C-alpha cells in the first residue's frame, strides 16, 4: 500500500469564501470585457458547436468558490502570462537542482524510459551562474555583513541563509536546526541538494512536452496517486483508471461523485491533484510530438489528443470538470503568491545569481507580478479551511499534509527523466504553496504582515513555486489557443 499512514479526521462542512465584488473594477480597461451575452451565458457557450464541446460548458462560477472562469481567463491571459513567462526565462528561475537517481520507494524499478526524448539535456557546471552554485539560499544585502557574528547567526536563520563567515560546525548546526524546524511544515519530499547525485537542469533546454512515455509505467504512477492517496468515502469503492477517457462509470460522473460525500478539505485535495493532472495533460497536448522518430522532430498542438482527454463526449462529462479543477488550482497558487509577497518585498531578500544587473531586473519583474496578483479581487480565503474544532482541524491538516507528501515521493517512480523533472518541480511548487497557506509559522507571521522570523524559503522552493505557477498560467493560455483551433476546424 502506498497510502500515507495517517489518522482520519472528522469531516467538516465549511463555506468557501472570496472577497471582492467585480473583477472589472480592478481591470480598469473598458476595452477588455467579459464574454457575456445578454441572456447571461458566455459567448463561448452561446456559440458552442460539436467542434467546441471541450469548452461549451467551461464557463461561469467554479465549484466550491465564487470566482468565474471568464474573470480568470482575462486576468491570466492579459495581466499575468506575459510577465510570468519572462520571469521563468531569467537565470535565477531557469536552473533547477534535482536528484534523478533517487529510487522509487514503492515498487521495484521498472527501468528508465529508453526513448531519446525522455532524456534530460545535461547542463554543464560552467553554465550555471556562480551565485547559484555558491549556495541554495537567498542572499542578503551587503549592509548586513557589518553585524556581529551572533547577530549574523540569528539573522541567517531568519532568512534561511547561512553566512559564509561562520565555522563549518556552526553552519552545519544551523542547517540541521532549520531542516528539523521546517520538516513539520513541508508538504512535499525535498531532494537533498548536497547529494552528489543532485544536478542542475536548465529548464529552458528541457521544456515540458510529450516524450512518448506512456503505458503501464505511466498509468501506475497516476493510478497510485488517485487510488492510494486521494481521500474517498469509506463506504464507496469504484475502480479508477485516470488515463483513459472514461473511468468506466455508467452515470458519466465517475470519481467526481465521491466528492459529494467529503468535507471541504478532502474535496479540495482531490481537486488540486486533478487540476495538476489536467495542467500536465494540456502541456503534453500543446507540445505533442507530431513527426515520426526517424524524421525531424517537430512539436505542436494535437487537437485530437486534447479532445480525447477533455471533450465531454469522450470522457462521459468529466472533461469539463477536469478543466475547472485546473482553474481551481490556479486560484490556490495565486493566493499563495499574494500571501507571500511581503517576504520578497523586503529589501534584504535578493534573487542572487552573481550578476547585479540581472538580479535587480529579475526582482523588479517579480514585484511587478506580485502587484498584479494582489490587485485580483477574488482571492481564495484559506482561513475557510481547517477552521473547525482545533484538535480535529489539526488532525485533518496533518492527514492532508502527509497524503500530499506521499504523492511527492511517487514522483521518484516516474520512468521518463524529463517527465520526472517537471513532475517533481510542479509537485514541489504546489507543496510550497500549501506551506505558505497552511504552515503555522506562515499563519502567524505573514498574516500579520510582519517580518517572518521563523518562515523561510530555499532557492529551490522559490524556483519551484514560480515555475509551477507559470505552468498553470501557460495551461490557461493554451486553452485559449485550443479554443481557436477547434473553432477554425468547423
> What are the pLDDT tens digits along the chain (490 aa)?
444 434 334 333 333 333 333 333 343 443 333 434 333 343 333 334 444 577 767 787 777 676 789 999 999 999 999 999 999 999 999 999 999 999 999 988 766 677 888 999 989 889 999 999 886 444 433 333 333 333 433 333 333 333 333 455 555 554 554 554 455 678 888 888 888 999 999 999 999 999 989 888 889 999 999 988 888 765 444 444 444 333 333 333 345 565 677 888 889 999 999 999 999 999 999 999 887 666 677 899 999 999 999 999 898 888 999 999 999 999 999 999 999 999 898 877 789 999 999 999 999 999 999 999 999 988 888 888 998 888 988 999 999 999 999 999 999 999 999 999 999 999 999 999 999 999 866 545 554 545 445 678 899 999 999 999 999 999 999 999 999 999 887 6
Enclosing H/E stretch for 200: strand 198-202
d(CA 38, CA 344): 43
Identify whether the C-beta of residue 36 lies closer than 8 Å to the C-beta of residue 83: no
Task: For the chain, give the longest Cα–Cα distance.
Answer: 71
Is 270 contained in some domain?
A: yes
Grid cell locating 135: 549556495
Asked if the structure places residue 241 within a domain, the reply is yes
Q: Indicate whether 440 belongs to any domain.
A: yes
For residue 82, being part of any structural domain is answered with yes
Asked if 294 and 263 touch (Cβ cutoff 8 Å), the reply is no
CA distances from 483 to 49, 194, 283, 286, 327 (A): 11, 45, 15, 12, 16
Instruction: With respect to residue 471, please indicate whether it lies within any of the assigned structural domains.
Output: yes
- Within a domain: residue 136? no
Predicted local distance difference test score (pLDDT) of residue 431: 96
Those residues whose C-beta lies under 8 Å from the C-beta of residue 93, and which sit 6 or more positions away, are 87, 203, 362, 463, 466, 467
- Residue 345: count other Cβ atoms within 10 Å of its Cβ: 14
H helix or E strand, kind and range, residue 289: strand 288-289
Can you state the angle between helices 459-488 and 417-438, rounded to 10 degrees? 110
* Angle at the Cα of 237 from the Cα atoms of 235 and 242, rounded to 5 degrees: 145
Strand partners, 42: 36
User: Bridge partners of 396?
Assistant: none
CA–CA dist 467, 95 (Å, integer): 11
Q: Cα separation of 419 and 207, whole Å?
A: 10
CB of 187 closer than 8 Å to CB of 405: yes
Q: Is residue 420 part of a domain?
A: yes
Question: Rounded to whole angstroms, how far apart are CA atoms 315 and 83?
Answer: 34
Structural domain of 470: 23-122+199-488
CB count, 10 Å around CB of 310?
27
What number of CA atoms fall less than 13 Å from residue 314's CA on the CB side? 16
Helix (H, G, I), strand (E, B) or coil at 97: strand
Q: For the chain, how many structural domains are there in total?
A: 1
Q: How far apart (Å, rounded) are the C-alpha atoms in residues 84 and 53?
A: 30
Q: Are 54 and 478 in contact (CB under 8 A)?
A: no
Can you give the pLDDT at residue 16?
A: 34
Instruction: Using the structure block, give the residue that is written with the C-alpha cell 482520519.
Output: 8
396 in Cβ contact with 265 (< 8 Å): yes
* Residue 123 designated active-site: no
Q: For this structure, is 419 an active site residue?
A: yes
In a domain, 85, yes or no: yes
The pLDDT assigned to 316 comes to: 86
Under DSSP, is residue 238 helix (H, G, I), strand (E, B) or coil?
Answer: coil
Binding residues: 209, 211, 222, 274, 277, 309
- The answer to whether 54 and 306 are in contact (CB under 8 A) is yes
Collapsing DSSP to helix, strand or coil, 202 comes out as strand
pTM: 0.78
Rounded to an integer, what distance in angstroms lies between the CA atom of residue 311 and that of residue 53?
A: 6
Q: Minimal CA–CA distance to 417: which of 96, 93, 98?
A: 98
pLDDT at position 183 is: 56
Alpha-carbon gap, residue 427 to 187, rounded angstroms: 9
Which member of 56, 65, 118, 419 is catalytic? Answer: 419
Q: What does the chain come to in residues? A: 490
Chain centre distance of CA 303? 24
Distances (CA, A) of 153 to 135, 338, 344, 352: 16, 29, 21, 20
Compute φ and ψ for 201, nearest 5 degrees.
Answer: -115, 130
- The pLDDT of residue 31: 39
Write down the pLDDT at residue 172.
57
- Residues annotated in a binding site for FAD: 209, 211, 222, 274, 277, 309
Amino acid at each position: 500500500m502506498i497510502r500515507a499512514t495517517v489518522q482520519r479526521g472528522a469531516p467538516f462542512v465549511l463555506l468557501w469564501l472570496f472577497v471582492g465584488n467585480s473583477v472589472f473594477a480592478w481591470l480598469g480597461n473598458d476595452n477588455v470585457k467579459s464574454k457575456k451575452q445578454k441572456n447571461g451565458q458566455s459567448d463561448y457557450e452561446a456559440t458552442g458547436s460539436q467542434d467546441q464541446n471541450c469548452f461549451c460548458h467551461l464557463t461561469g462560477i467554479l465549484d466550491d468558490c465564487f470566482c468565474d472562469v471568464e474573470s480568470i481567463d482575462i486576468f491570466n491571459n492579459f495581466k499575468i502570462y506575459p510577465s510570468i513567462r519572462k520571469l521563468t526565462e531569467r537565470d535565477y528561475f531557469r536552473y533547477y537542482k534535482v536528484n534523478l537517481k533517487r529510487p522509487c520507494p514503492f515498487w521495484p524499478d521498472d527501468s528508465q524510459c529508453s526513448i531519446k526524448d525522455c532524456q534530460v539535456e545535461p547542463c554543464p557546471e560552467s553554465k550555471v551562474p556562480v551565485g547559484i552554485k555558491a549556495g541554495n539560499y537567498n542572499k542578503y544585502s551587503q549592509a548586513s555583513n557589518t553585524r556581529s557574528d551572533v547577530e549574523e547567526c540569528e539573522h541567517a536563520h531568519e532568512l534561511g541563509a547561512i553566512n559564509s563567515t561562520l565555522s563549518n560546525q556552526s553552519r552545519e548546526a544551523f542547517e540541521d536546526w532549520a531542516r528539523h524546524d521546517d520538516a513539520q511544515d513541508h508538504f512535499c519530499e525535498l531532494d537533498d541538494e548536497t547529494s552528489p547525485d543532485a544536478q542542475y537542469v536548465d529548464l529552458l533546454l528541457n521544456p515540458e512536452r510529450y516524450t512518448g512515455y506512456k503505458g503501464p509505467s505511466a498509468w501506475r504512477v497516476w493510478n497510485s496517486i488517485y487510488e492510494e492517496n486521494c481521500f474517498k468515502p469509506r463506504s464507496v469503492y469504484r475502480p479508477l483508471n485516470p488515463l483513459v477517457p472514461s473511468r468506466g462509470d455508467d452515470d458519466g460522473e465517475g470519481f467526481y461523485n465521491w466528492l459529494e460525500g467529503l468535507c471541504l478539505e478532502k474535496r479540495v485535495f482531490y481537486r488540486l491533484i486533478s487540476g495538476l493532472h489536467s495542467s500536465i495533460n494540456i502541456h503534453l497536448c500543446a507540445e505533442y510530438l507530431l513527426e515520426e522518430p526517424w524524421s525531424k522532430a517537430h512539436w505542436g498542438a494535437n487537437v485530437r489528443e486534447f479532445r480525447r482527454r477533455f471533450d465531454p463526449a469522450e470522457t462521459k462529462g468529466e472533461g469539463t470538470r477536469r478543466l475547472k479543477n485546473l482553474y481551481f488550482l490556479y486560484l490556490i497558487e495565486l493566493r499563495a503568491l499574494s500571501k507571500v509577497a511581503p517576504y520578497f518585498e523586503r529589501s534584504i531578500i535578493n534573487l542572487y545569481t552573481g550578476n547585479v544587473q540581472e538580479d535587480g531586473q529579475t526582482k523588479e519583474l517579480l514585484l511587478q507580478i506580485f502587484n498584479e496578483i494582489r490587485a485580483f479581487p477574488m482571492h481564495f480565503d484559506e482561513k475557510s479551511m481547517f477552521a473547525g474544532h482545533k484538535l480535529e482541524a489539526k488532525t485533518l491538516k496533518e492527514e492532508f499534509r502527509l497524503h500530499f507528501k506521499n504523492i511527492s515521493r511517487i514522483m521518484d517512480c516516474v520512468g521518463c527523466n524529463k517527465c520526472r523533472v517537471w513532475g517533481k518541480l510542479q509537485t514541489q511548487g504546489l507543496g510550497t504553496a500549501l506551506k505558505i497557506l497552511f504552515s503555522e509559522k506562515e499563519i502567524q507571521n505573514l498574516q500579520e504582515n510582519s517580518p517572518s522570523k521563523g518562515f523561510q524559503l530555499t532557492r529551490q522552493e522559490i524556483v519551484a513555486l514560480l515555475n509551477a505557477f507559470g505552468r498553470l498560467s501557460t495551461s490557461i493560455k493554451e486553452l485559449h489557443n485550443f479554443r481557436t483551433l477547434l473553432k477554425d476546424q468547423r
